[in-house]
Structure 1
Amino acid sequence: MSTLKEFIGMHMIYTYDNGWEYEMYVKNDHTIDYRIHSGMVGGRWVKDQEADIVEIIEGVYKISWTEPTGTDVSLNFVPNQNLMHGVIFFPKWVHERPDITVCYQNDFIGLMETSREKYETYPKYVVPEFAKITYIGAPGVDNEQVIAQAPYEGMPEDIRQHKLNFQK
């Protein structure tokens, strides 16, 4: 993978050094879908998150966004080396009440925005971590089947073993 055009449409699973497992689908040049399989907000999943997606240098890509929760995320992917480094900036309220965010966010945008205004934002809980990419697939651009259901126990392994079909 050496161009942004090749990166767009990729589906990846990665595990942070702290053990948290996430899944990312680069849906198109400005949108991502993702699921969180473990960690502080394990069980959360999101579709159609607007994001800034750029190529830093050949083979290195950055995805950055702000969630309705007020959480800021910036991820650097180096897929050819199965490496990712990310920084997540959780608002104080998400760190203290992650249970509020563990849902299909798209159905609860109002709750996320209300919670962001109701609870304290600072200090931010900053999580900078390296991650190993454990799966890379290429389901193509704008494939609504990739992130189409809530995460479940064992889902990442089912994806790695191709038990879930993401064909258009």
Structure 2
Amino acid sequence: MTEKTFKTLDDFLGTHFIYTYDNGWEYEWYAKNDHTVDYRIHGGMVAGRWVKDQEANINLLTEGIYKVAWTEPTGTDVALDFVPNEKKLNGTIFFPKWVQDHPEITVKYQNDFIPLMEESREKYETYPKMVVPEFAHITYIGDAGQNNEDVISEAPYPELPDDIRNGKYFDENYHRINK
């Protein structure tokens, strides 16, 4: 795990995180650049879902504290507040009713199924939204550099977060070891 002090937006961009919400849901998230994030979901109702090149608003709120927010093609809204110097995060996920009722539709590599996500968003009910506000503990911080396509590059598997935390997934240049 990288030990660095976060102060500026540049310190945050290119950083790879693994965190676990207080409800037990585990996520992996990468600040790919100043407007794009990639992520994999390892626990919770949409475990197995992964996404690349999600457009997001990424902002420095004050020294070392960051706000990231986006809307997915599913209609899910996400707002994350990162406090990496304290290894904390607060996230709120606003799941449309259809995702709560049919999470299996979203559990895939989203990028290959955008039309299905959009169709489902129109076909099924949106409200009431399922709001999930949770604190999380950051269990891994890696300095992957910006626009590193190796960070989130395959579907999640059960041991993946531990493989990353134990140094078995990336080499010294932050590239996947076993492609």
Q: Same fold (TM over 0.5)?
A: yes
Q: Report the RMSD for the aligned CA atoms in angstroms.
A: 0.8
Identity level (%)? 67
The amino acid that maps onto 1:71 is T
Q: 1:44 aligns with which of 28, 46, 49?
A: 49
Report deviation, 1:162: 1.2
TM-score, reference length from structure 2: 0.93
Does residue 54 (structure 1) correspond to residue 59 (structure 2)? The answer is yes
The list of structure 1 runs, each at least 4 consecutive aligned residues, that deviate by more than 4 angstroms after superposition, is none
**Match status 1:91 vs 2:117:** no
For 1:58 and 1:162, the matched residues in 2 are separated by 29
Deviations for 1:76-102, whole angstroms, at most 9, x for unmatched residues? 000000000000000000001000000
State the alpha-carbon separation in 1 of the partners of residues 175 and 25 from structure 2: 27
1:65-144 matched pairs, under 5 angstroms: 65-144=70-149
Q: What does the per-residue CA deviation read over 1:10-60, in whole Å, with 9 as the maximum and x for residues that have no partner?
A: 000000000000000000000000000010100000000000000011010
> What residue number does 2:11 align with?
6
The alpha carbon displacement at 1:167 in A equals: 3.0
1:167 corresponds to which residue? 175
CA distance in 1, matches of 2:68, 2:155: 22
Q: Deviations over 1:59-117 (max 9, x none)?
A: 10011000000000000000000000000000000001000000000000000000000
Give distance in 2, aligned partners of 1:160 and 1:87: 25
2:23 aligned residue: 18
CA distance in 1, matches of 2:131, 2:107: 19
- Between the two proteins, the alignment pairs up a number of residues equal to 168
> What's the offset of the Cα at 1:149?
0.3
User: d(CA) in 2 for partners of 1:164 and 1:148?
Assistant: 12
CA distance in structure 1 between the partners assigned to 2:107 and 2:117 by the alignment: 11
Gaps of 5+ in 2: 1-5
What is the match of residue 3 of structure 2?
Answer: none
Letter in 2 for 1:25: Y
